Copies of this chain bind each other. A is one copy, B any other.
Amino acid sequence: MLEIGPPNSKGGLDGPAPAKTIKFTSESYPNIKRDSKFTKLTEEHVKFFKELLGSESAVIDGVTQDATEDIEPFNSDWMRKFRGHTQLVLKPSNKEELSKVLRYCNENMLAVVPQGGNSGLVGGSVPVFDEIVINLQKMNKIRSFDEISGVLVADAGVILENADNYLAERNHIFPLDLGAKGSCQIGGNVATNAGGLRLLRYGSLHGNVLGIEAVLPDGTIVDDLGTLRKNNTGYDLKQLFIGAEGTIGIITGVSIQCAARSQAVNVAYFGLESYEKVQEAYRTAKGQLAEILSAFELMDGRTQKLVNRVTGKKMPLEGEYPFYCLVETSGSNTDHDAEKLQAFLEHVMESEIVLDGTLADNQTQIKELWSWREGITEVLGHEGGVYKYDLSIPISELYDLVNDTRDRLTEAGLVGDGPDYPVVDVVGYGHMGDANLHLNIPTRGFSKEVEKQLEPFVYEWVQKRNGSISAEHGLGVTKKPYVSYSKNETMMKLMKQIKDLYDPKGIMNPYKYI
């Protein structure tokens, strides 16, 4: 779970250093072996795909060395942690082309990896060995939007931010927001069941996605792209594709319920003396802000000091506190929201639930306060690598894991200032409203010793509390070996059944997920 090098919060394929310097996944994970059942790519295969997809820009070919575009950015990820050996990238323009691609791959036992914006955190969207990359970037059209129902229908390859901007012009909002919005694609968001910043308010994709269009490994086009809020005519099969990480088919289109955009948005940023007070603040916000509460984010003091140190920006509050939280409200009436927020502020200040706070009510100030939450990912890799865990834990115990992990690493003599200590710090932040903790351990480099202290410790800790070892980042390559900490044997068996049903030859995104 080590990330080497500074992460780029924008994600995407334009990393700072050449992709060729990234270590191969097959070397970082020597236990993963190429499955010999898969055919090796030949010039004949490449010829078929070139004839099928026509346009030169649709095929990046490392086999015949006839590439019109560098293939390496498609082989590696933005964190510079994963790198595959693919020699072929295909960019179908529509579902019919994709159908022919997949049918051919399935018949010829060619393994494939679906790739959206390639902004994931678990190595799900790049090959491990020579799997063919199927990139969705050419399928990038908004198909329709209904202003009365608020239903958007779009190609899978539409970039999230483009979809949200399109909706903003129509006074609506995409029910999902996350740091990588500038590069991630909505098909990838759905395939990975992305959570992010708006889940507290708008709920999960399982509720918001109304329809899906997908292509199965055998080339079957699944047209389940309905736009109805209610449709009780059979098994809701589209749900299987939400969070399947491209292991049973490739999503080509999505229809999704979008809410009206709020006219009033306010953000408050608080300093608190303990995690108990953060919980109290959350309970109070749920009660008093109720229907206008749209985010409740937790940041510990260490993350905020780190942002301060790396960016050199002045901290939002005068004093320093062990905990901070960011509360966002979104509503339809500016005065009402301001009044609710004011009452909430007075209450939490007077009752000493929070010790200090500041309020943003214009776009610039709001962005500035959010940067203290959204900027954490970027500054964490500043000194080397980061061990990242994305966990669901019952709220009352959520931050205990950060303390317990810090204690454990400290007792092992691994935490400290200066080059003798591999661990820089142990920090926690996350989506409090979703009971979703991001436990991060910034390090000065890779250390077998640190890893041994962390795993399986973290997973066992979470399992004991019936939490999830992957709240929103998914499984990919990194979490595949640990699924059983969050799924029992029966669930594992039932998952395998679904995989075998939809992808009997196992060509879809192998070495990952299941």
User: Which residues of A pack against B, CB within 8 Å?
Assistant: 146, 148-150, 171, 192-193, 195, 199, 203-204, 206-208, 220-224, 226-237, 239-240, 242-244, 248, 260, 262, 279, 282-283, 286-292, 330-333, 336, 339-340, 392, 394-396, 431, 434-436, 466-475, 479, 483, 486-488, 490-492, 494-495, 497-499, 501, 513-514
Report if A193-B236 is in contact (Cβ < 8 Å); known contacts: A287-B260, A291-B292, A336-B340.
Answer: yes
List 5 A-B residue pairs with CB atoms under 8 Å apart, sorted by A's residue number: A193-B236, A203-B208, A232-B243, A336-B340, A501-B501
A232 touches B475 (CB 8 A): yes
A203 touches which of B149, B203, B290, B470 (Cβ 8 Å)? B203
B residues in contact with A333, CB < 8 Å: 336, 339-340
B237 touches A498 (CB 8 A): yes
A233 touches B470 (CB 8 A): yes
Report A322 CB to chain B, min CB distance, Å: 20
B486 touches A230 (CB 8 A): no
B residues in contact with A171, CB < 8 Å: 287
B residues in contact with A483, CB < 8 Å: 233-234
B474 touches A232 (CB 8 A): yes
Report A210 CB to chain B, min CB distance, Å: 9
B residues in contact with A332, CB < 8 Å: 287-291, 340
A236 touches which of B149, B206, B290, B336 (Cβ 8 Å)? B206
Report A232 CB to chain B, min CB distance, Å: 5
Report if A486-B231 is in contact (Cβ < 8 Å); known contacts: A260-B287, A468-B226, A497-B501.
Answer: yes
Report if A279-B148 is in contact (Cβ < 8 Å); known contacts: A237-B498, A472-B232.
Answer: yes
A468 touches B232 (CB 8 A): yes
> Bound complex: CA of A392 vs CA of B151, how far in Å?
14
B residues in contact with A291, CB < 8 Å: 262, 291-292, 330-332
| Chain B residue nearest in CB terms to A229 | B434
> Bound complex: CA of A61 vs CA of B9, how far in Å?
66
